[in-house]
Structure 1
Amino acid sequence: MRITMIGTGYVGLVTGTCFAEFGHHVTCVDKDQEKIDKLLAGQIPIYEPGLDHLVEKNCKEGRLNFTTEITQAVGGAEAVFLAVGTPSSRRGDGYADLTYIYEATREIAKELQGYTVIVDKSTVPVGTADQVARIIKEVNPDADFDVASNPEFLREGAAINDFMRPDRVVIGVESVRAEEVLREIYKPLFLRETPIVRTDIKTAELTKYAANAFLATKISFINEIALLCDSIGANVIDLAKGIGMDGRIGSKFLHPGPGYGGSCFPKDTLALMRIAQEHGQSLRVVEATVEVNSAQKAMMVKKIRDALKGSEAGKTIAVLGLTFKPETDDMRDSPAITILPALMEKGATVRAHDPQGIHEAKRILPGGLYYAKDAYDACQDADCVVLMTEWNQYRALDLDKIRSNMRGNVFVDLRNVYDPEQVTKKGFTYTGVGRS
């Protein structure tokens, strides 16, 4: 099929490339000429394992193209996916900013030719599809189209596998024609017997928010339990195993740490709260999830401070990992954004390393940080090392070399990667999260 993807951000680029890998002919459209030029030259603007090879392959085989010209791209398409950004409103009220969605809708409305399915791929509030349909009818009253919702469930760092082998595909449609088009697009997944969950449009729009809020709630829950474990001398790792083996609960997302971040959980939990408020409802569990996550980051500052005997002033702290999770360069709402400035404000010197996130960190974090060439450089003359993000590169560090590089011996493991006994034997004082 002929597919047009509006937006070449994380969702648009991954989705468009994977559709091309399915065998469809995909044109990705973006207003940013510099980004399109780089993509045409084989330069990928985001870090996602395996994406560069798929882009190169499908461009060479003629199924994937990039352009800034919307007219030809939309006019010949059977499906147009809206994959532009929906960040939190600049007003800071938690509402999703739909400016880019509506701008893109007005542009594509002018170019529609023949029956076309307009698909919301971006995470959008309930009722957005209705507004998209209204705008198209206003701009092009003769357009033959349907609007559908097809939320994405991609994990950064594992997006290719998530797309090719999904747990399910959710399609929100209200016409047989639109459903047939989307089922044809996802037909390659039928061979793997991937469940296709057909819903009405509003249910599909809400499904993504509900899924992310539930996962965020599991994270905040185990983080609170970890703090309780710290207080009473229990072990949260064993506790998580004990509850995670219950099939009703499951083991995923029961890993304590410095709090969730990224492009989805922070903004989607806030947006879901606002959706509920607009309809006269309150989501107290989600509200508590947001509050706990904010408090967790502050508690990690205290944990580091306590490990340093009450003060970070004049101390050098090595920080390993800056992105919100491994296998991505995404710094959005990363715990490092909250924790590092707080330490620096109280007089700490920070030496940081991240395999992929340094470029973004330099743009977001305050000046004065030293960006190290590797983990061992970061630990040079440090009083304390803080493992912030569980990159594979940090899972088997030479602890003897780390210790010899350091001035102090404090090891703060905010991801519980290391065995406390192993670290202690190497001459460190160990601090984890929820581990006595």
Structure 2
Amino acid sequence: MEICIVGTGYVGLSASVGFASKGNSVTCVDIDKEKVEKINQGEPPIYEKGMEKLLNEALDQELLKATTDLETAVEKATIIFITVGTPMKEDGSIDLSKVKQAAEDVGKALKEKDDYTVVTVKSTVVPRTTRDEIIPILEKKSGKDAGKDFGVCMNPEFLREGKALSDFLDPDRIVIGELDEKSGKLLENLCKDFDSPILRMGLSSAEMVKYASNSFLANKISFINEIGNICKKLEIDVYEVAEAMGHDERISPRFLRAGAGYGGSCFPKDVRALIAKSKDISYEPELLESGVSLNEDQPLKMLELLKEHLGGLEGKTVGVLGLAFKPGTDDIRESPALDVVNVLLEENVEVKAYDPKAMDNFRERFPDVEYCDSAEEVLDSDAALILTDWGEFGDLDYSGKVIIDGRRLEKAEEEADVYEGICW
């Protein structure tokens, strides 16, 4: 099938490479010429495990190409995916400017096209966006009727950064929100190559599945962190508690690792967007707001422990192990390390940091931090904080060190001269 994918971020590039690996002909479109050139040269503009190999295989088989020419890509396509970003505004609500612009551009290109095409929104958008915002734009710019002259679907993504490509190729479920049966059936035919349940529903229901899923998982993390905070005061090991909880099939052990909290491009943004949407319809989402508040406060508890062990922070040298919001990615968006490092610098602390992937991105925000060539250098400090559980941190020698741990690294717990877990 001929596919056009608008946007080449984590979602767009994973979808492009993934669909191409299934034998489809994919054209991915981006306004960034440098990204387009990199993709065509087989160089992924993002770090994602396995991406470079599959990208080059798709290029060699001439099943994928990148371009800035949206009109030509739309003309050839049977299905168009909009995968551009929907960042968060300062008030927590969703910024639809990029997805609206993409809809305008796609609509203009559809105006000159005779073949029936399904426009699929894969960008994360709050419920009713496709119905009330995207379809009117497509109809106005194309001069055509949705559900008659062209189809519309909403196909949320459930990708984890660092595992986005594998998640795309082996999904837990595929959700198809459809304007009409013809639209949904065409998208379902494309997705039949994946070994996964396919669930078809309305457009707004599909949009809500994404937000409900991420909000639940984010709150599950906040929940176990709160249990951990209580356990610490009672001198109880929260990891023992979580392990026993996880054996209950209704609960499961996933997302029950107490620590410094969640970050990244999805959980913080999506939960806040759902909160903002709820307030727009005059509903106060108290549970969601409490979860966000707890998550924001959680990593700062490490600094309270640090002050206790160092007798204050001013003039001290503190090492930070891990800057990405989780291992396997270079993404620092909403990383717990951001607030922690910011406070340390405000307290006149000399900060030494190391991350195997995220230092370049972090340096743009904090140029005054000393970025080390190795994790070992970071440990040459008055104390060190563990904020990301990269595997290589398990090979370090922590003997004689003062460690405040946000990720429950067993070797540090066993070897450090002074060891304190954030909530255990």
TM-score by length of 2: 0.96
Tell me the distance in 2 between the aligned counterparts of 1:73 and 1:125: 27
* CA deviation profile, 1:172-231 (whole Å, cap 9, x unmatched): 013221112111111111xx3x11111111000011011000000011111111111111
Tell me the distance in 2 between the aligned counterparts of 1:45 and 1:398: 34
* CA deviation profile, 1:112-144 (whole Å, cap 9, x unmatched): 221111111010011111221111111122362
Tell me the distance in 2 between the aligned counterparts of 1:163 and 1:256: 27
Instruction: Give the corresponding residue for 1:198.
Output: 200
Instruction: Give the corresponding residue for 1:18.
Output: 18
Q: Secondary structure at the match of 1:110?
A: helix
Q: How does 1:229-308 map to 2 (within 5 A)?
A: 229-308=231-310
Tell me the distance in 2 between the aligned counterparts of 1:359 and 1:36: 21
Instruction: Give the corresponding residue for 1:406.
Output: none
Instruction: Give the corresponding residue for 1:140.
Output: 142
Structure 1 position 184 matched with structure 2 position 173: no
Q: Secondary structure at the match of 2:423?
A: coil
Instruction: Give the corresponding residue for 2:91.
Output: 93
Instruction: Give the corresponding residue for 2:155.
Output: 150
Deviation of 1:324 after TM superposition, in Å, equals 0.3
Tell me the distance in 1 between the aligned counterparts of 2:144 and 2:93: 32
Q: How does 1:34-433 map to 2 (within 5 A)?
A: 34-89=34-89, 92-112=90-110, 113=113, 114-130=115-131, 131-142=133-144, 144-189=149-194, 192=195, 194-309=196-311, 311-365=312-366, 367-380=367-380, 382-400=381-399, 403=400, 409-418=401-410, 422-424=414-416, 428-433=417-422
Deviation of 1:304 after TM superposition, in Å, equals 2.3
Q: Secondary structure at the match of 2:251?
A: coil
Tell me the distance in 2 between the aligned counterparts of 1:345 and 1:69: 47
Tell me the distance in 1 between the aligned counterparts of 2:2 and 2:197: 23
* CA deviation profile, 1:54-93 (whole Å, cap 9, x unmatched): 111101111110000111101111111000010012xx11
Tell me the distance in 2 between the aligned counterparts of 1:148 and 1:342: 44
Tell me the distance in 2 between the aligned counterparts of 1:186 and 1:256: 36
CA contact (8 A) 1:86 1:124 kept: yes
Residue identity in the other structure for 1:336: A
The percentage of counterpart residues that share the same residue type is 39
Tell me the distance in 2 between the aligned counterparts of 1:434 and 1:34: 44
Deviation of 1:421 after TM superposition, in Å, equals 5.7
CA contact (8 A) 1:234 1:434 kept: no
Q: Secondary structure at the match of 1:161?
A: helix
CA contact (8 A) 1:329 1:360 kept: yes
Tell me the distance in 1 between the aligned counterparts of 2:307 and 2:158: 37
CA contact (8 A) 1:307 1:431 kept: no
Residue identity in the other structure for 2:75: G
Unaligned runs of 5+ in 2: none
Q: Secondary structure at the match of 2:94?
A: coil
Q: Secondary structure at the match of 1:234?
A: coil
CA contact (8 A) 2:398 2:411 kept: no
* CA deviation profile, 1:311-352 (whole Å, cap 9, x unmatched): 112211111100000000001010111001101211211110
Tell me the distance in 2 between the aligned counterparts of 1:32 and 1:166: 29
Tell me the distance in 1 between the aligned counterparts of 2:58 and 2:206: 30
Tell me the distance in 2 between the aligned counterparts of 1:341 and 1:99: 30
Tell me the distance in 2 between the aligned counterparts of 1:261 and 1:4: 30
* CA deviation profile, 1:241-298 (whole Å, cap 9, x unmatched): 1211111111111111112110001110010011111222221111111111111122
Tell me the distance in 2 between the aligned counterparts of 1:215 and 1:68: 36
Residue identity in the other structure for 2:163: A
Cα pair distance change 1:420/1:67, threshold 3 Å: closer
CA contact (8 A) 1:94 1:271 kept: yes
Tell me the distance in 2 between the aligned counterparts of 1:111 and 1:421: 59
Deviation of 1:167 after TM superposition, in Å, equals 0.9
CA contact (8 A) 2:301 2:422 kept: no
Tell me the distance in 2 between the aligned counterparts of 1:419 and 1:242: 22
Residue identity in the other structure for 1:277: K
Deviation of 1:434 after TM superposition, in Å, equals 2.5
Compare 333-342 and 104-113 and name the one that shifted more.
Answer: 104-113
Deviation of 1:303 after TM superposition, in Å, equals 2.3
Instruction: Give the corresponding residue for 2:423.
Output: 434
Tell me the distance in 1 between the aligned counterparts of 2:280 and 2:45: 36
Residue identity in the other structure for 1:185: L
TM-score by length of 1: 0.93
- CA RMSD in angstroms comes to 1.3
Tell me the distance in 2 between the aligned counterparts of 1:324 and 1:171: 29
Question: Which 4+ stretches in 1 moved above 3 angstroms?
Answer: none
Deviation of 1:94 after TM superposition, in Å, equals 1.1
Q: Secondary structure at the match of 1:257?
A: coil
Unaligned runs of 5+ in 1: 404-408
CA contact (8 A) 1:307 1:412 kept: no
Tell me the distance in 1 between the aligned counterparts of 2:46 and 2:256: 28
Cα pair distance change 1:58/1:164, threshold 3 Å: same
Tell me the distance in 2 between the aligned counterparts of 1:174 and 1:135: 15
Cα pair distance change 1:280/1:421, threshold 3 Å: closer
